[in-house]
Chains A and B, each alone.
Chain A
């Protein structure tokens, strides 16, 4: 009797143990490291669960946490921005403050630069240097102070210098041999020379200059949190035109331009009664460009446009769980969707 009972109990244990072994099969399936779309997943701020995921537009397969899967350690950060340049992805993160340099071909970590940043936000590459905007630190009245721009030497991945700034810097954009910094805390763009790393001049635009892109003519378009879209001519360093009463987000603007440099896409803030965030496009080749609404969604948070002209819009699902990405054609018709990491905020196409 005793032996039978023990036998039954042992069998029960063995069955449960076998099931426990089977549960650890990865959910990622096969990682697709060569997929044409990289999704930048910001993650929750305190959780620092930002990640990179991929989407293969041919097979419609998504792979999650590819950086962590390849390297065996996580990004462990909130990813604010990422760009690809010269075969490397430069991911700017805060919480933890760092720049992660990643080989874009296989997602192998090339370097983690941890020193020389304080709430970094955006990065631009010119030659062997990377310029990173830093918000600085919050004071007792919750205002940013001691903001600066870090200069990162890409030959040894060390921050070699910094430029102190008086206004809150947001986006940085490489324009020829110069880099433009949008001072979101004021109404100016600051221009710096990358050879000397010195300030050249300021251009007065509208209040709250934020996201910048370069069009086919080499002009800089600046989306301002005040609801203005400003075109700046880099050759004359003057404002060419301002489109007013734009429905911008009002904070942390999201704007991209297609590969031809002819059509801008940006996100707006939601408005009553449904508070859905709208996606607008602007044909910047026309004489009188005007925003045209394409689509809308409640928690739209990131935007991208593929080389084929397909529009990728990221839904952060209000930071609850993972996000979702919707793909639209150029007329704003939804053609596909897939899930991503937590809080997707942008895309890299390759």
Chain B
């Protein structure tokens, strides 16, 4: 009750009419754009972690950051650094793509990414595109696409971050960049450790220290861009991660000593050429994902990806883009029959048409192929954006997208022994979504923005692992149907007066993900497990150029732990507060940030029987020289 009152107070404060100002952490963008790197992205609704937001979370991983600042539900198997997968718009984790330079880095074996293995410090922007139309190729984006943008050089400078926190948390990051007319390069490295030895309540008045939950994440990333001429560049980017961790056991389990080691190496290179009215990029990527469980069982997956994209914008009312991608994967697992190679290919044709000043149409057609799959389906996506009202004080925009939903089976679904099923069909379906964006600017220093999205998807041939008649054997099958629908509402208020500002934001999500496959099943029309119907995020930043006070309140609704919906984890509210002090001295900037996380010492479980920390503290010191 107390936390809810606090939550309501935060909502009222955020929209009291006196507050507003710069939008600093999350913003939405619902238009279709050609990005600054010239890549095409058929964007639906997006959340962006910009540099300000990332700097607040740079001592942690993307899973933690998404949990505290977005409407996405992150399934975290315990404390910081433990396995984390995401549910975007009520879909399962393998229905969201994760892009790095336009390459999907989801594990091809599991079809998903562990978000606890993505260090925030290595990225300049992280954009979550929600909805099926977020991906131009490859399918698998029923939930959306998470786009990771590596840091790149914007000048010459260095930066250093040291963070200390409860439960033996320490994180050290260093970055440096250089730029001249021909060459820009950037290097960043981070090491984060947390023991996660927080107190766990086990029964009335009794607690114990969480065991076997330490996590160490080390990442290094370097990027260089060389200007071959005024119109062409060569780019290379490498990213290496080592995530060494103990696997946190269930509550009260003192004997478990499971261990997981992940090593991920990703390399991307491209040749980029700007023509008079067009842009070409030819790129190559190599990805190597290794995982060792309990120092015994090893998974090794190598992928080689080549792609060429071209876009043309020479016509007044139309732009066109096309691209092709070829990929070879080579998995090595003891659970697969033998090492083998697997080819995939995809292509797209993208059109952006402005039939009038206020209307923009987008059409994308994907063609995706995968070795061993009989079908090469055409996956269309249509969108329309209409600027209904466009005045200086008030802007009002409406958009609608209709897309085919499509996802190939994962390699485990196809080849895992026993149970892999090479006869699986892709998941298929249809999605429609619409949104309304309103921007009210009383004057340049006071504004309110609202973004409302509504969506509905019906997915058939959902792949699930099912027990077979033999009893002890499970196999992947196309067995289920899911109807996913819901909405999101984001409100952002901005106020600036002199050197002072106040930013407020509220994000409300509503997700229904219903099993509609078999009306005789006890799971019929029941919510999918671990998909909260509600998640609320509200935040408030108040301060000036030197001092910022900030607070964040996240309410996560109850989540069912099983398909029949008879047992649920209760909803919970987390309150984080902090203060940040900034001292600029010439080209040097010193920033110190103190945060109290889980201020109300809320006891909660994000995933059933995985303990989570109570109230805890972090102190961060940040030094920047000549850096933005």
Q: Report the minimum CB–CB distance from A254 to chain B (whole Å).
A: 14
Tell me, yes or no, whether A114 is within 8 Å of chain B by CB.
yes
Tell me, yes or no, whether B9 is within 8 Å of chain A by CB.
no
Residues of A with C-beta under 8 A to B510: 16, 19
A76 interface neighbour in B255, B450, B467, B609, Cβ under 8 Å: B609
Interface of B: prevailing SS? loop
Task: Scan A258-284; emit 1 where CB is below 8 A from any B CB, else 0.
Answer: 000000000001100111010000000
State whether A48 and B250 are in contact (beta carbons under 8 Å apart), knowing that A20-B536, A96-B255, A322-B564 are contacts in the complex.
Answer: yes
Check B450 against A114 for contact (C-beta < 8 Å): no
Size class of the A contact interface (CB-based, 8 Å): 35 or more
Check A298 against B471 for contact (C-beta < 8 Å): yes
Name the segment of B276-284, B327-335, B566-574 touching the other chain: B566-574
Bound complex: CA A10 to CA B16 (Å): 10
Tell me, yes or no, whether A306 is within 8 Å of chain B by CB.
no
A73 interface neighbour in B201, B249, B394, B440, Cβ under 8 Å: B201
Tell me, yes or no, whether A182 is within 8 Å of chain B by CB.
no
Residues of A with C-beta under 8 A to B255: 96-97, 118
Closest B residue to A276 using CB positions: B469
Bound complex: CA A315 to CA B470 (Å): 15
Tell me, yes or no, whether B555 is within 8 Å of chain A by CB.
yes
Bound complex: CA A277 to CA B469 (Å): 10
Q: Which B residues from 560 to 583 make CB contacts under 8 A with A? A: 561-568, 570-571
Residues of A with C-beta under 8 A to B448: 2, 5-6, 9
Q: Which A residues from 60 to 109 make CB contacts under 8 A with B? A: 64-65, 71-74, 76-77, 95-98, 109
Bound complex: CA A33 to CA B255 (Å): 32
Tell me, yes or no, whether B491 is within 8 Å of chain A by CB.
yes
Check B467 against A299 for contact (C-beta < 8 Å): yes
Closest A residue to B450 using CB positions: A9
Check B608 against A23 for contact (C-beta < 8 Å): no
Residues of A with C-beta under 8 A to B474: 318
Q: Which B residues from 84 to 100 make CB contacts under 8 A with A? A: none
Tell me, yes or no, whether B203 is within 8 Å of chain A by CB.
yes
Q: Report the minimum CB–CB distance from B474 to chain A (whole Å).
A: 7
Tell me, yes or no, whether B422 is within 8 Å of chain A by CB.
no
Residues of B with C-beta under 8 A to A9: 15, 448, 450, 489, 491
Tell me, yes or no, whether A1 is within 8 Å of chain B by CB.
yes
Check B489 against A339 for contact (C-beta < 8 Å): no
Check A274 against B469 for contact (C-beta < 8 Å): yes
State whether A49 and B608 are in contact (beta carbons under 8 Å apart), knowing that A2-B442, A95-B250, A96-B253 are contacts in the complex.
Answer: yes
Tell me, yes or no, whether A12 is within 8 Å of chain B by CB.
yes
Check A322 against B506 for contact (C-beta < 8 Å): no
Task: Scan B222-253; emit 1 where CB is below 8 A from any A CB, else 0.
Answer: 00000000000000000000000000011111
Best-buried of B466, B529, B566 by chain A (most CB within 10 Å): B566
B609 interface neighbour in A74, A318, A320, Cβ under 8 Å: A74
Bound complex: CA A24 to CA B250 (Å): 24
Residues of A with C-beta under 8 A to B562: 321-322, 342
B203 interface neighbour in A16, A49, A73, A324, Cβ under 8 Å: A73
Bound complex: CA A48 to CA B609 (Å): 7
Residues of B with C-beta under 8 A to A16: 489, 508, 510, 534, 536
Task: Scan A312-350; emit 1 where CB is below 8 A from any B CB, else 0.
Answer: 000000101110100000000000000101100000000
Bound complex: CA A109 to CA B450 (Å): 50
Q: Report the minimum CB–CB distance from A338 to chain B (whole Å).
A: 11
Check A6 against B15 for contact (C-beta < 8 Å): yes
Residues of A with C-beta under 8 A to B471: 269-270, 275, 277, 298-299
Q: Report the minimum CB–CB distance from A240 to chain B (whole Å).
A: 33
Q: Report the minimum CB–CB distance from A337 to chain B (whole Å).
A: 10
Residues of B with C-beta under 8 A to A287: none
Check B17 against A320 for contact (C-beta < 8 Å): no
Residues of B with C-beta under 8 A to A21: 4
Residues of B with C-beta under 8 A to A299: 467, 471
Tell me, yes or no, whether B33 is within 8 Å of chain A by CB.
no
Residues of A with C-beta under 8 A to B533: 20, 23
A77 interface neighbour in B252, B522, B555, B570, Cβ under 8 Å: B252
Size class of the B contact interface (CB-based, 8 Å): 35 or more
Q: Which A residues from 25 to 73 make CB contacts under 8 A with B? A: 27, 46-49, 51, 64-65, 71-73
Check B534 against A23 for contact (C-beta < 8 Å): yes
Bound complex: CA A10 to CA B510 (Å): 16
Closest A residue to B4 using CB positions: A21
Bound complex: CA A114 to CA B250 (Å): 14
State whether A27 and B469 are in contact (beta carbons under 8 Å apart), knowing that A49-B609, A95-B253 are contacts in the complex.
Answer: no
Task: Scan B462-484; emit 1 where CB is below 8 A from any A CB, else 0.
Answer: 00001101110010000000000
Tell me, yes or no, whether B376 is within 8 Å of chain A by CB.
no
Q: Which B residues from 453 to 467 make CB contacts under 8 A with A? A: 466-467
Check B566 against A339 for contact (C-beta < 8 Å): yes
Check A27 against B565 for contact (C-beta < 8 Å): yes
Residues of B with C-beta under 8 A to A20: 533-534, 536, 555, 557, 571
State whether A322 and B394 are in contact (beta carbons under 8 Å apart), knowing that A6-B17, A23-B534 are contacts in the complex.
Answer: no
Closest A residue to B535 using CB positions: A20
Check A298 against B469 for contact (C-beta < 8 Å): yes
Check B469 against A96 for contact (C-beta < 8 Å): no
Q: Report the minimum CB–CB distance from B618 to chain A (whole Å).
A: 28
Bound complex: CA A303 to CA B555 (Å): 42
Tell me, yes or no, whether B8 is within 8 Å of chain A by CB.
yes
Bound complex: CA A273 to CA B469 (Å): 8
State whether A27 and B568 are in contact (beta carbons under 8 Å apart), knowing that A76-B252, A270-B471 are contacts in the complex.
Answer: yes
Check A23 against B438 for contact (C-beta < 8 Å): no
Closest B residue to A318 using CB positions: B467
Tell me, yes or no, whether B254 is within 8 Å of chain A by CB.
yes
Bound complex: CA A131 to CA B434 (Å): 64
Residues of A with C-beta under 8 A to B203: 71, 73, 109, 112
State whether A275 and B609 are in contact (beta carbons under 8 Å apart), knowing that A16-B489, A17-B536 are contacts in the complex.
Answer: no
Bound complex: CA A201 to CA B51 (Å): 74
Task: Scan B159-177; emit 1 where CB is below 8 A from any A CB, else 0.
Answer: 0000000000000000000
Residues of A with C-beta under 8 A to B522: 321, 324, 339
Tell me, yes or no, whether B616 is within 8 Å of chain A by CB.
no
Q: Report the minimum CB–CB distance from A120 to chain B (whole Å).
A: 11
State whether A64 and B567 are in contact (beta carbons under 8 Å apart), knowing that A1-B394, A12-B489, A339-B522 are contacts in the complex.
Answer: yes
Check A48 against B253 for contact (C-beta < 8 Å): yes
Tell me, yes or no, whether B204 is within 8 Å of chain A by CB.
yes
Residues of B with C-beta under 8 A to A324: 522
Q: Which A residues from 222 to 238 make CB contacts under 8 A with B? A: none
Closest B residue to A93 using CB positions: B252
Q: Report the minimum CB–CB distance from B416 to chain A (whole Å).
A: 16
Interface residues of A (CB under 8 A from B): 1-3, 5-6, 9-10, 12-13, 16-17, 19-21, 23-24, 27, 46-49, 51, 64-65, 71-74, 76-77, 95-98, 109, 112, 114, 118, 269-270, 273-275, 277, 298-299, 318, 320-322, 324, 339, 341-342
Closest 4 CB pairs of A and B: A318-B467, A48-B250, A96-B253, A321-B563
A-B contact pairs, 23 of them (CB 8 A): A2-B440, A3-B17, A5-B448, A6-B448, A9-B15, A12-B489, A13-B506, A16-B536, A17-B8, A17-B508, A23-B557, A24-B558, A51-B567, A77-B252, A77-B253, A96-B255, A97-B253, A109-B203, A112-B202, A321-B523, A322-B562, A322-B563, A342-B562
With A76-B609, A339-B522 known, 9 other A-B pairs at CB within 8 A are A3-B17, A12-B489, A20-B555, A23-B534, A51-B567, A273-B469, A275-B471, A320-B467, A322-B563
